Amino acid sequence: MPFLFSWNRPDCGASRSCLVLSRAVTALLIGGTALLAACGGGSSVGGRSSGGTAGVGSGSGSSGGGSSGSAFSSSSSSSGAASHTALAIRVKGNQLVDGAGKAVQLRGVNFSGFEFVAIQGWDPADPSGGQGGQAGGPDWSAIAAWRANAVRLPLNEASWLGYACIDGDGVTHNPDPGGNYKAAVQRQVAQAIAAGLYVILDLHWSAPGNTCPMLQTQMADADHAPDFWRSVATVYKDNPAVLFELYNEPFFDFDFSGDAWSALMQGQGSFSGYPATGNSGTWHELKQAWQPAGCQQLIDAVRGTGAGNVVLVGGVQYTQDLSGWLAHRPTDPKGQMAASWHAYPTYGSAFGSPAHAQPNLAPQIWSEVQAIRAAGIPVVVTETGDQDSAGTSGSPMVANLAAFADQNQLGVIGWAWDVWQNADNVLVRDAAGTPTDGYGQVFHAWLASHAD
């Protein structure tokens, strides 16, 4: 049976700036090797809804903002991502459009594995670890059969950059034990694109200094994150089917001094420590000062390579709070920036309750998303999830989110196409893509309802 441990922080009240962190990391024994898998969505946290019963909004924002021209040259990619010529995506006003200028609503799934498998060292031959039910990545044809058009791949900065690191237990790791991490990512990106899927590459796990990124830290670090994005952008700068999500889920209520929005967007403020762990599963607070890399620095790193790929910029409170996004947003010289949002049911609410049918920070989050689009910026929900345990019927929050997304031209990417035995946030039972009860069935039905 899996061993669960959680780092639980006291509920600090109803303020939208208050974070409640309740992470569970599962230690599994696979072939005698300890695997710490971040099972479950990118978020099990959130603020309090002021009521939680508001209905979804409707209508789309006005156009404007983003660049209408191509941000790419006509040269072909040397990244190994073949067959990408038919797929291209860019920002035009408050929409994403394809190479012909037709509006694109990203609808797809997350495939989790690259962020934790390699750095934990348990499967050097397959850095994504067979988390989709088979070796070498998921069954891309099964994902496409759900009528998905996108996949999000969470990545680990140490595994991509290949530097030796020390975990929270003091153990030194080679984060790319098979010497094949980048090649495996590039191979799966190419396979996904060949299956007709756009690909979002996400900086999911990072850590400052020489600490191994083995869990979610507060923010991208100035030590490695700009180098990570320079490297990734150099590989994919000629591939317009690939989007970059600059950082997964920032949070600023832990060992932080300064303004959260200024830190997220501009790298201001400072941290006095950060969480860390190792293959033992023991959680540590490492008291060491470090500097964040804001989204502006990360955009500058990407654009400095000449890459014109779409960049996705999240919010605070685990990318669930977008209240300060417009006022603090960074500048993209290529006009190819979109906002990302992680929408999970109201934290602490019971499945079937009115609050659980709404995302964290509802009802105001609905209008904040619409305001971003009205300012001429696309929005993509790059994570969502809900209960999927056997016998679950329906998924009211995901149904509400999907309706809102269709009404407001939002993309939605579900967490996760992994065959984990979790009661929440798992889409499939097997490699063939049999949907889980509740959430999996509802999300599958929503994807299948779209003809394009």
Task: Name the β-bridge partners of 33.
Answer: 30
Residue 76's pLDDT is: 35
Q: Residues 6 or more apart from 449 whose CB is under 8 A from it?
A: none
Residue 27, pLDDT > 80, answer no
Mean per-residue pLDDT for 165-189?
98
Residue 452's pLDDT is: 78
Residue 12, pLDDT > 90, answer no
At 151, phi and psi to the nearest 5? -140, 145
Residue 84, pLDDT > 90, answer no
Q: In terms of C-beta density within 10 A (0-12 exposed, 13-18 middle, 19 or more buried), how is residue 100 classed?
A: exposed
Under the banding of pLDDT at 50, 70 and 90, the label for residue 451 is confident
**Least-confidence region, from 65-69, 148-152, 166-170, 308-312:** 65-69
Residue 295's pLDDT is: 98
Report the alpha-carbon distance of residue 57 to residue 412 in Å, rounded: 16
Coil, strand or helix: which one is 109? strand
DSSP 286-355: E---B-B--HHHHHHHHHTTT----EEE--HHHHTB-TTHHHH----TTS-EEEEEEE-BPTTPPTTSTG
Residue 98, pLDDT > 70, answer yes
Residue 365, pLDDT > 70, answer yes
Task: Name the β-bridge partners of 3.
Answer: 27
Residue 86's pLDDT is: 80
Residue 39, pLDDT > 60, answer no
pLDDT tens-digit readout, 390-401: 999 999 999 999
In order of 54, 79, 131, 145, the CA distances from 186 in angstroms are 43, 7, 17, 22
DSSP 380-429: EEEEE--B--TT----HHHHHHHHHHHHHT-EEEES--S----SBS--BS
Element (H, E) at 235: helix 225-236
Considering just the CA atoms, what is the radius of gyration of the chain in Å? 20
What's the pTM value of the predicted model, to 2 decimals?
Answer: 0.87
Cβ 411 vs Cβ 405: under 8 Å: yes
Mean per-residue pLDDT for 331-338?
98
Mean per-residue pLDDT for 13-34?
30
Report the alpha-carbon distance of residue 319 to residue 261 in Å, rounded: 11
pLDDT tens-digit readout, 201-234: 999 999 999 999 999 999 999 999 999 999 999 9
- Residue 116 CB: number of other CB atoms within 10 A? 27
Residue 319's pLDDT is: 98
Residue 72's pLDDT is: 57
Residue 49's pLDDT is: 25
Token pair in block for residue 266: 């501009």
Under the banding of pLDDT at 50, 70 and 90, the label for residue 24 is very low
Domains and CATH numbers, the chain: 3-448 (3.20.20.80)
